[in-house]
Amino acid sequence: MGKTLAEKVWDEHVVRSAEGEPDLLFIDLHLIHEVTSPQAFDGLRLAGRQVRRPDLTLATEDHNVPTLDWDKPIADPVSKTQVDTLRRNAAEFGVRLHPLGDVEQGIVHVVGPQLGLTQPGMTIVCGDSHTSTHGAFGAIAFGIGTSEVEHVLATQTLMQAKPKTMAVTVNGSLPEGVTAKDLVLTLIAHTGTGGGQGYIVEYRGPAIEELSMEGRMTVCNMSIEWGAKAGMIAPDQTTFDYIEGKPEAPTGADWDAALEHWRSLRTDDDAEFDKEIVLDASEMTPFVTWGTNPGQGVPLGASVPSPDDFDEPNDKVATEKALEYMGLEAGTPMRDIKVDTVFVGSCTNGRIEDLRLAAEILQGHTVADGTRLLVVPGSVRVRLQAQEEGLDRVFLDAGAEWRGAGCSMCLGMNPDQLAPQERSASTSNRNFEGRQGKGGRTHLVSVPVAAATAIRGTLSSPADLTPIG
Amino acid sequence: MEPFTTHTGVGVPLRRSNVDTDQIIPAVYLKRVTRTGFEDGLFAAWRGDESFVLNQPEYAAGTVLVAGPDFGTGSSREHAVWALQNYGFKAVISARFADIFRGNSGKSGLLAAQVDEKVVQRLWDHLEQHPGATVTVDLESRTVRAGEGPEAIEDSFDIDDYTRWRLLEGLDDIGITLGHDADIAAYEATRPSWKPATQHA
Ligand code: SF4
């Protein structure tokens, strides 16, 4: 029997396997940030250990760095301590760090791919659940806890039980104006937030193949939101074209050797998955969440559901609670929901393609009165690229705030937060209670919906906009 | 990690059940960036109360905690184990532990000894009648001992073989993996040259 993509990559990284024990996996790339690494480094220090492979380790500052005044000392003491600690640890243990102010600084999951460090067939880990993003390149990539961070630092390996594999096949083509974000939100509403538990998921099918690398990253990014261990997509010409020429991409004979190997990284025709899901992209529409987990979503054209729409008692209660927290009435058309803040950014939708799309829609429009629009590039490179293309002018002319790079309002660890009961339309990945600020109410949306919502002040898609001139 | 064979130290009777990790160390104490120094947050809410057991001088130097059933439930924070260790505890005795707490303890070298509920009762009575009395936890023979003469307490405790072996050898996960260093080195030697690196020689 053949092997799935996930099995191929897994098997290539087994350092040691023994009956009844988890596999010992070699880790090709370990990404680090300021929040989940301090105790791991301290653990090394207490035990007198070293970082085994600094050359396979990369650190950035992203989770709680400010997106304004980034050239001044960080005002929040806890954030400052974490950032300072990362800098000290990186220096002491010889780890490459891109600190605030550096041209390569940014969200760890944006920086890896843009440096060309994320490549097909790798194992990539980080103390962050959205590490699944890197699976878009055909890598096995997943988030780990702080003791595992320490384990990888010391040994460059992890003990892991082999997960099951699942295929999500998406047939057809996404209609005009419907994005990878809508696709994955639709999928999560379909499976529920626990549907992927215990699986490495491979996204495949024509609709997936048609996605850009940015779109694929958006899909893989949100794998964790339906419980999957990791999400991956087989590498193809789109992948190779994206990597070629990136700073850390192989060159010359190395490129040829790499390419030859990468082309073998696809699921064999006779391989079997433990589970399969099939979806049709051609029926998908802009999709938005109404509740407090990413599975609580509906098409933009639908209305807020009622607890009575659900059969399961648990779902009824969850719906009731979510509606109360979100301050929503069942039956309200989603398009009537007024939004205070629109956030374009995060490792889900903070790449250059996302900003181009937002600018294209905002061009010539202005942000609605009473609504603020925050545009936060995923990395300094993305910010510079956007400025080179004049996107910043479009944002500023529309009345948006054009910020520095980082996680920002995705999780509100820095000053970019929602006030209690403030409502946002956000291109990020989590709408949990309080995620974007205590009491804040989050609707997860795609980039086009975010941009159109900023212009109209209510949840909208570009189709709702009055043509200019 | 230090090997753990046997330990004798002042026993602390904590007459409470369902001690969750928020009570062991409240979330506000988690902002630290080290693995040490969490002792000030240990049982923070209770230590404000003068009559709390650790506030009594006889027990202040305790190293063996004797607690009610379902110790360590709630959030999976490893800080709960660190806080106990930072304070000086080497072992916790209880009739039942939450799984994650037990797992985290084994990884960090804190002995979680599961005994019969009656043994906990007898230890509590003994430690309260003789404040500052010691308790011995012998991992080799899997026994707890306290007191002398006719009142002496001696009973066995449960711990799984794998955790016991790790504690006796003083092996943490990293130590065990480093035991396979030759396998790791052999794997590294076969990695293709085109794999990316963050630093170049
Ligand atoms: S952008 Fe959000 S989801 Fe992504 S790494 Fe930062 S905090 Fe996590």
Query: Does residue A428's CB lie within 6 angstroms of at least one atom of ligand 1?
Result: yes
Instruction: Please tell me the predicted confidence (pLDDT) of residue B77.
Output: 84
Among chain A residues, CA nearest to B36: A42
Atom of ligand 1 nearest to the CA of A62: 6
Question: Cα separations (Å) of A7 from A126, A266, B149?
Answer: 21, 10, 62
A185 Cα distance to chain centroid: 13
Cβ–ligand 1 contact at A405 (below 6 Å) = no
- Is the Cβ atom of A429 under 6 angstroms away from ligand 1? yes
User: Residue B100: its pLDDT value, please?
Assistant: 86
A63 lines ligand 1 (CB under 6 A): yes
Mutation probe of ligand 1 site: the residue of A79, A429, A430 with most atoms within 8 A of C-beta: A429
Indicate the DSSP class of residue A158.
Answer: E
Which residues of chain A are within 8 Å of residue B33 when distances are taken between CB atoms?
38-39, 42, 81-82, 85
pLDDT tens sequence for chain A (469 residues): 899 999 999 999 999 999 888 999 999 999 999 999 999 999 999 999 999 999 999 999 999 899 998 888 899 888 899 999 999 999 999 999 999 999 999 999 999 999 999 999 999 999 999 999 999 999 999 999 889 999 999 999 999 999 999 999 999 999 999 999 999 999 999 999 989 998 999 999 999 999 999 999 999 999 999 999 999 999 999 999 999 999 999 999 999 999 999 999 999 999 999 999 999 999 999 999 999 999 999 999 999 999 999 999 989 999 999 999 999 999 999 999 999 999 999 999 999 999 999 999 999 999 999 999 999 999 999 999 999 999 999 999 999 999 999 999 998 888 899 999 999 999 999 999 999 998 999 999 999 999 999 999 999 999 999 887 6
Q: What is the pLDDT of residue B75?
A: 78
For ligand 1, atom 8, which residue shows the shortest CA distance?
A130
- Closest CA–CA distance from residue B191 to any residue of chain A (Å): 10
A447's tokens = 């980039």
Contact A28 B187 (CB under 8 A): no
Residue type, position A204, single letter: R
- The residue of A83, A153, A155, A413 whose CB has the most chain B CBs within 10 angstroms, and thus the best one to mutate to test that interface, is A155
Q: Where are the alpha helices (DSSP H) in A116-251?
A: 146-155, 180-191, 206-209, 213-221, 237-243
Helix (H) / strand (E) element for B118: namely helix B117-129
Per-position b or e across A402-434, b if 16+ CB within 10 A of its CB? bbbbbbbbbbbbbbbbbeeebbbbbbbbbbebb
Question: What is the distance in angstroms between the Cα of A438 and the nearest Cα belonging to chain B?
Answer: 16
A-chain residue closest to B189, CA distance: A15
Amino acid (1-letter code) at residue A37: S
User: With an 8 Å Cβ cutoff, are A42 and B107 in contact?
Assistant: no
Phi/psi of residue A287, each to 5°?
-125, 135
pLDDT (tens digit per residue) in A374-433: 999 999 999 999 999 999 999 999 999 999 999 999 988 888 999 999 999 999 999 999
Q: Which region, left, alpha or beta, applies to residue A439 given φ > 0 means left and ψ of -120 to 50 means alpha? A: left
| Residue A396 contacts residue A374 (beta carbons within 8 Å) | no
How many C-beta atoms surround the C-beta of residue A85 within 10 A? Answer: 19
Give pLDDT, residue A469. Answer: 62
Q: Tell whether A58 is within 8 A of chain B (Cβ).
A: yes
Q: Do A55 and B198 touch (CB under 8 A)?
A: yes
CA-nearest residue to B180 within chain A is A16
Chain A CA closest to residue B198:
A55
> Digits of tens for pLDDT over chain B (201 positions)?
889 999 999 999 999 999 999 899 988 888 889 999 999 999 999 999 999 999 999 999 999 999 999 999 887 788 999 999 999 999 999 999 998 899 889 989 999 999 999 999 999 999 999 999 999 999 999 999 999 998 899 999 999 998 999 999 999 999 999 999 999 999 999 999 999 999 998
Positive or negative: CA dihedral A382, A383, A384, A387: positive
Q: What is the DSSP string of A206-218?
A: HHHHTS-HHHHHH
CB contact under 8 A, B36 and A38: no
- Global pTM reads 0.92
Residue A237 makes CB contacts below 8 A (sequence gap 6+) with none
pLDDT at B74: 84
If you measure from the C-alpha of residue A317 to the centroid of ligand 1, how many angstroms do you get, rounded to a whole number?
29
